[in-house]
Structure 1
Amino acid sequence: MAFLSDTLARVKPSPTIAMTNKAAELKTQGRDIIGLSAGEPDFDTPQNIKDAAVAAIAAGKTKYTAVDGIPELKAAICAKFRRENGLDYSPEQVSVSSGGKQVLFNALMATLNPGDEVIIPTPYWVSYPDMVLIGGGTPVFVQGEKARGYKISPEALEAAITPKTKWFLFNSPSNPSGAGYSHAELKALTDVLMRHPHVWVMTDDMYEHLAFDGFTFCTPAQVEPALYERTLTVNGVSKAYAMTGWRIGYAAGPQPLIAAMRKMQSQSTSNPCSVSQWAAVEALNGDQSYLTASRVAFQRRRDLVVRMLNDCPGIDCPTPEGAFYVYPSIEALIGKTSAGGTKITDDETFATALLEETGVAVVFGSAFGLSPNFRISYATSDAALEDACARIKAFCRGLK
């Protein structure tokens, strides 16, 4: 359609949303569907956070706020970074947006020029490359190695850096693989970045609090303090506190960058929801016991899913360090034919046949830039996960 912009032609719809919508459509037709495609905790937002939102409404805190966050929330974010990450920021170095996605979008739109390159490890969250393309930049992919749990090597990072590289966009624990970089692994990457002072770091720490088996989360500016002045540390309350619908993300970084992001936000959405901001203040400052309880539940679910998937013929599922995803390989299943007659030519045909024949909705790996794999979100009940994995096993056994 000639009326639409050239920029739009560079963007693909979100495959995770597309798979979720397809599953919902089948469900309305009366099919028994188990949705494992959406990255959303099934737990309710903790009561103390909901109470804080109600109190904010009752107190009339429903007006416009400062463009990029109320002072109280910025202070809570500074305290969180100091307490949990050993990073000192002032409120002027903090930006609050309507979700972590907007934080990333603002930063990229405010900094990218045509020809700028952004290094993105694969597998990646589906929105990273498209946001780079919208900003006129060029995504440069560095493939994570299956033998390393889908983490990239410092040598691969070094090889990807060029004079045009502007950002290294990093996510640990990862969506979709759940891979978490240890302090030593991250230090090896930051050592590379120290040799290239023109490269900035954008780190998406959204799954910080979902770390298992004693894995200790760390973030680049914490591991290498010399990167502090060229790092944007991004986080939010969506995943950690089961607040996906509240839409609050935040970041801290150099003041000129934060000012540029504020300018971008002032001409798009303006301030995030006022009530959600007050709820986020309570999330960061209030009782943190929910984090421990949810982590225990998610680790139990991870162990269940990894065990059951590795019992499926032809599936190889690594054990991730964090988040609430697994990213199994189906390399051994390519070329086979399902009981329903579908030839499994790639991970997309696998995911489509799995949904249509068993009612289990997953996301195919090519959506995340690394195949042949699929992603399961285990942010749902143990019973649903057991049922889903049993159906996947039956599906794999039926392949010829």
Structure 2
Amino acid sequence: MKPLLVTHFTATSCAGRGLDATLDTLREARSGLVHSDFERAELDTYIGKVDGVDDTPVRADLANFECRNNRLAQLALTRDGFAEQVEAAIARHGAARVGVFVGTSTAGILETEIAYRERDLATGQLPASLHYAETHNPYSAAAFVRAYFGLQGPSLAISSACSSGAKVFGSARRMLEAGLIDAAVVGGVDSLCLTTLYGFNSLELLSPQRCKPFDVARSGISIGEAAAFALLERADALEQAAPETRAHAIMLLGIGESSDAHHMSSPHPDGLGARLAIEQALATANVAAADVDYVNLHGTATPSNDTSESKAVSAVFAAATPCNSTKGTTGHALGAAGALEAVIAMLALRHQFIPGGVNTTQPDAALGVHYVLESTPAPLAIALSNSFGFGGTNCSLLFGRADRVLESEVNA
């Protein structure tokens, strides 16, 4: 594939609102996970909650979209000058030439949970205040972003469980390469709700402590929430970019997607689909495994997921390749995880460091990977971000610093 320019990106999670706060948390190897205090969730578990999500409603002209999920999306869109960058892309290309691709797993299902509690007990009728299409519907997040910017280009939602926020990059790439759009707003947003908390609890996947990815004593996931977005354009846009943008520009080099369909909720025991996604990402970028400087693992901290992923990673990369999961910092943001961790990988490339594997204290030696515990300065040129979901929906994204990648091409 032809590399794509990541013109701008942003993220909001329990690790912080915006890039500066997120970067500080990652560098200091802190966890944003707190013991669950989510309303009506009487569970002994930790969550990655974004405080103050409900303090600012969505923009008045978008009132029908009012829900926690879209409020969280708006929080992210208004950070780091991201909205201004999208407006600039609209000015360059036109509203009809900018696409929207958003991943989510549950969208605004919390609104329906609340509506069900407020239903008419005699008739079962849900309150008229529930706007299903703009909140609960999986497309609502993409529709909200499209309406927020007044965009007229192609728009779609990806809901492929925990790979959703990564697979949007693939959808955008195909539209850009087909010439249907000139820029794309991609991202993921998922917010806390009782459906996911109790759903994962019923699967016995919630940890009673802060999650410990790849640890010998790992005991399950900590659910988080997040909104993360990126603006993609063709690589030639770098020539017109401002000098400060060119100085630390990030490129999307490769994308790998697979669907092994091994089981509805368990990964392939040998990591088959995950390995195929990783290998495809490398192949589409024409990058050798030895050239990857850091792997941001999916790393959910469940025994089966981490074992499966370790087999996939070990089959492709040398044992010395630095890797870890940042879910100990952010929790598992489900449909937003792929977008959030893509942003984390890009921050690592931009600021030349490997984030610490927070909460993990004793990496499981049986998994056979070089798991980095402490936040560490490192000369990174290329980083891989893995996202694997229920049903075997797998996606790996390969990012690179434009200056390092172009320099290597010149010297080749």
**Under a length normalisation based on structure 2, what TM-score does the superposition of the two structures give?**
0.27
Q: Rg bigger for which structure?
A: 1
Larger strand share, 1 or 2: 2
Larger helix share, 1 or 2: 1
